[in-house]
Structure 1
Amino acid sequence: MTQPLSRSTFPDLPSYPERMIQFGEGNFMRAFVDWQLQQMNNKGLFQGSAVLVQPLGQGLGEMLAEQDYLYTVLLNGILNGETVSDREIMTSVSRLVNPYTDYDTFLALAENDELEFITSNTTEAGIAYHPGDKLDDAPQKSFPGKLTALLYKRFQLGKKGFIIIPCELIDRNGEKLREIVLQYAAEWQLGDEFTAWLERENTFCCSLVDRIVPGYPRDKAEALAEELGYRDNLMVTAEPFLFWVIEGPAWLADKLPLSQAGLNVVVTEDMTPYRERKVHLLNGPHTAMVSLGLLAGLETVEDVMNDGVFSAFVKELIDEELIPMLDLPREELQFFAEAVQERFKNPFIRHELTSIYLNSISKFKTRLLPVLLRYRRERGELPKLMTLSFAALLLGYRGDKLQRQDSPEVLAVFDEAWKNPQSFIQVILQNAGLWGEDLSSVPGLAEELEAGLRKLDELGSRSALQQSLEGGIACKD
């Protein structure tokens, strides 16, 4: 029987001083930020580790402690035409602090002068204001509330501020986090001097992250234990491709020498073009394929790309509906799109459609809806594939064909609207809380969605999609 991964199993593994506070201990951050710290450490460029802060009451703290905060990242896939299969034990995490059980230790992080970076991934809903949070809570419910309390403690100690780089998948994440911290500072009456210190001593950066991280390889765990020679309950699989765009001052590239370590990281004054390219050409096709694919019985992104009808859908969606609506050179977009489709076909990564399906309404709103509306404005018609994907999304949220994964509030809205199928489309499109605006006035949208719902119900996802692919141009008025 293989031994569990621990420092007693591997006594010669290095340890590093804590230089980063990381809110979030999930698969993505451990295979993205912490993996990059490891690469810098391997080249002697950073010589630091991350102390993790558990953002929710339940987390991986005990499991990480059992393995002495060691875990394995498994990179599997094709990068630049070469097959990559890499296994590496991460030594870039020092410990985990749970503010729900040890709030004093959390606040004590403010005392460490060597800590200079803060990163986070607390889910897409993590950067949000919670009106009940107070300074004397132990802890505050929200991530920005906890961060404000930590920063205030740092200020009280008369120490320097932090470089703060959130990784949550929301637009302008650093700006939004800063706004909420300043809101708490004012609400908690922490004083003008603290506000001035926040602005002067801390650098809030917006960032864009890109790496597919399916997570724990459950179906291969036993075989991997034999291959590795140890048992790792926290190993995480990821594709070899990585891209991180950080919008911040030029000096940050030297302070955090990621690119010097050979990592695909860009520090820029304006991340907007990179964000639009990634959100609409990688995340967009993911969201477009997921409901249609699940309704057709497909399980993974690779299944989609190996299916003739669905792979044709992805290619036509990208080439004819997404790329023409983006304000970057077409050649550059086409090159990026081809790389994306290569990543989608990765035979070494099992990227479950059900994991992409989580919170699909907010994802559609961010990733596809802006493109759909621009297409309608500029071309006077609706993009046929995106519109059918929208219909499949709404059908999935009826709840009788797919297992919905969304907030109780969103599901309650759909349950109420579906009580009257005849008025469902009109009611749901009018809900600005879901879409950010009233969509019922978009010409032709309600009619095309109703037609799409009927087609999907009568023909099934595959036949409906095939009919749309063969039907030529987009849905006219």
Structure 2
Amino acid sequence: MTKKLSLQHFPETKNDLPVKVLQFGEGNFMRAFVDWQIQQMNTQGLFNGKVAVVQPINQGLGDMLQAQDNLYTVILEGLLDGQLVETSEIIHVLDSVTNPYQSHEAYLALAENKDLEFVVSNTTEAGIQFNPNDCLEDTPQQSFPGKLTAFLYKRYQAKLAGLTIIPCELIDRNGDKLKEIVLQYADLWALPSEFKAWLENENTFCCSLVDRIVPGYPRDTAKEWAEKLGYEDQLMVKAEPFMLWVIEGPQSLTQTLPLAEAGLNVIVTSDMTPYRERKVHLLNGPHTAMVPLALLAGLNTVDEVMNDVDFRPFVDDLFAKELIPMLNLPKAELDEYAEQIKERFLNPFAHHQLSAISLNSVSKFTARLLPILTRYIETENDVPVHLAASLAALILSYRGDQVTPADDEAIVTFFQKAWQTPASVVATALANTDLWGQDLTTLPDLQAVVQTQLEAIENRGARAVVQSLKGEK
């Protein structure tokens, strides 16, 4: 019988390091990103701290983690610097998992830990929200910022030092937003002005940007991994080797949280804006741009696109001719990052489904590609043809006969009605400010180019259009 992952079978993973990090969220990403990094520092004797995890919602993985003595395995699979990586490591930095819905006093008791230095979180994009119904007396508050405010107030009452708070949620200016809501709760709950001064002066809220693709538990290959590892792990998590963490904060973080010293791809900066633009437009942007055209051409995964004789040049040209020239970072740095992204897109283990990326394509196009498209038209006095072809394919895909659109009901309904008059569908779609935040028909020549591309896709097919773009400026 295969042994189960536990301290009984792996006693060497036990240690008595102090808890230095409070972590909201015990999902795949945090365990394969933040906790994995903390272990890399500990292994090199640079941090020597453990993590106390808090479940942000009542239903979570706490019981499963406790059944494994808070141990789990991170599997790294993919390409990194041209080399195939396939490694596994038992992560043993989690000290405890607390469910504040069931053990509220134990949760607040964590605030009295003198060794605590950091708070990290990933409670999904919807997690950093203000809930006006939260009260200080709640056990616990419903929102993550409400729970954090109560925690920090408890720490203030214990007359302990403030903390460095680094949220990892995928929203712009996440640290600023979290601080803003914590201060809102301080006002709502009429907490002392001295507490608010302590919040401002003794605590540091950092904005951060995270980047690592984490597919999660390898369901299809779990049995094979159990045989390979020699033990069962119900919480093993698969991730790509590449990772990047950009933290906007004081340079003193490089000493208190020596991630870069541990050889990790972590940047501490006074302004993360260029790095956010780089990630949104060079990683997320090409994903969004390739999806409608590739789906209409019958492709299914990102690696299929990257290995396709027609679509790979489309992706290369999109990067080189339309995306990179519009970003305000050194070209050499952007070129290097673009090559890393292409390598990640080629990951033979990921099989990233285009249908999954297509979810909410309109809002993704607006956030990831529209700023580039408008900037290109303004600076070059021309329409970027690769982005225009993608936009045309997006409009065509929402017709629903070749691709099933996955979006808000109101958006799907809008396109269904717009397609009832095919001759004007491009103009109707581009003029809808609810979709794009602006009237795109006002951008010079965009409507005409998108109309031409849409007709070409309809008449000749997406693959033929992609072929025709080879060599275009």
Q: In 2, distance between residues paired with 1:190 and 1:397?
A: 50
Task: Sort the Cα spacing of 1:263 and 1:451 in 2 relative to 1 into closer, same or farther, 3 A.
Answer: same
CA-to-aligned-CA distance 1:57-79 (integer Å, 9 cap, x gap): 43323332332221111112232
The one-letter code sitting in structure 1 at the alignment partner of 2:22 is I
Provide Cα deviations, 1:238-264, integer angstroms capped at 9, x if missing partner.
Answer: 222222111111111111111221212
Change in 2 beyond 3 A, CA 1:114/1:391? farther
Alignment of 1:143-162 (within 5 A): 143-162=144-163
Alignment of 1:88-167 (within 5 A): 88-167=89-168
State the one-letter code of the partner of 1:389.
S
Pairs within 5 Å for 1:215-364: 215-364=216-365
User: Equivalent residue for 1:70?
Assistant: 71
After superposition, the C-alpha distances for 1:87-123 in whole angstroms (9 at most, x for unaligned) are 1011012232223443333333222222221111222
Confirm or deny: 8 A CA contact 1:144 1:177 kept in the other structure.
yes
Verify the 8 A CA contact 1:7 1:68 in the aligned structure 2.
yes
SS at match of 2:235: coil
User: CA shift at 1:11, angstroms?
Assistant: 2.5
Distance 1:264 1:107, change over 3 A: same
1:47 aligns with 2:48: yes
Q: 1:222 to 1:377 in 2, by over 3 A?
A: same
Larger CA deviation: 128-137 vs 310-319: 128-137
TM-score by length of 2: 0.90
> Paired residue for 2:409?
411
2:198 corresponds to: 197
* Alpha-carbon shift at residue 160 of structure 1 (Å): 1.8
Q: Which amino acid aligns with 2:5?
A: L
Deviation at 1:416, TM superposition (A): 4.2
* SS in structure 2 at match of 1:259: coil
1:355 Cα deviation after fit: 4.1
CA contact (8 A) 1:214 1:350 kept: no
Structure 2 residue identity aligned to 1:210: D
The one-letter code sitting in structure 1 at the alignment partner of 2:204 is: T
CA–CA distance in 2 between the matches of 1:18 and 1:338? 38
- The whole-number CA distance in structure 2 between the counterparts of 1:133 and 1:448 is 51
In 2, distance between residues paired with 1:51 and 1:14?
A: 15
Distance 1:48 1:415 in 2: 52
Structure 2 Cα separation of the partners of residues 397 and 145 of structure 1: 39
Partner SS state of residue 133, structure 1: coil
Name the counterpart of 1:209: 210
Please list, as runs of the form range in 1=range in 2, the aligned pairs for 1:19-58 lying within 5 A after superposition.
19-58=20-59
Distance 1:53 1:363, change over 3 A: farther
Quickly say closer, same or farther: Cα 1:79–1:470, change in 2 above 3 A. closer
**TM-aligned CA deviation for residue 352 of structure 1:** 3.2
Question: Tell me, which stretches of 5 or more residues in structure 2 are unaligned?
Answer: none
| 1:315-464 superposed matches below 5 A | 315-397=316-398, 401-402=402-403, 404-405=405-406, 410-421=408-419, 422=421, 429=430, 432=433, 434-457=435-458, 459-464=460-465
Deviation at 1:204, TM superposition (A): 0.7
Aligned residues: 469
Please give the secondary structure, in 1, of the residue aligned with 2:124: coil
DSSP 3-state at the match of 1:261: coil
Write the distance in 1 (CA, Å) between the matches of 2:218 and 2:67. 19
SS at match of 1:151: helix
Q: 1:21 to 1:357 in 2, by over 3 A?
A: farther
Point out the more displaced range, 425-434 or 142-151. 425-434
Q: 1:155 to 1:381 in 2, by over 3 A?
A: same
> Does structure 1 retain, via aligned residues, the 8 Å contact 2:2–2:232?
yes
Residues in 2 aligned to 1:64 and 1:428: alpha-carbon distance in whole angstroms: 48
Change (3 A) 1:342 1:178: same
Q: Is contact 2:72–2:91 with CA below 8 Å preserved after alignment?
A: yes
Return the offset for 1:168.
1.9
Partner SS for 2:184? helix
Deviations 1:307-350 (A, max 9, x none): 11221111010001001111222222222212221222222433
Counterpart of 1:10 in structure 2: which amino acid?
Answer: F
**Amino acid across the alignment from 1:50:** V
Deviations 1:166-225 (A, max 9, x none): 112222221122122222222332232221111011101111222222222222211111
Following superposition, the deviation at residue 364 of structure 1 comes to: 2.5
Classify 1:305/1:94 alpha carbon distance in 2 versus 1 (closer, same or farther; 3 Å): same
Residue identity matched to 1:414: V
Q: Is the 8 A contact 1:237 1:349 kept in 2?
A: no
Indicate if the aligned counterparts of 2:303 and 2:351 stay in contact, CA closer than 8 A.
Answer: yes
Hey, what's the Cα distance between the residues in 1 that align with 2:195 and 2:68? 39
Counterpart CA distance in 2 for 1:83 and 1:293 is 26
> Residue in 2 aligned with 1:84?
85
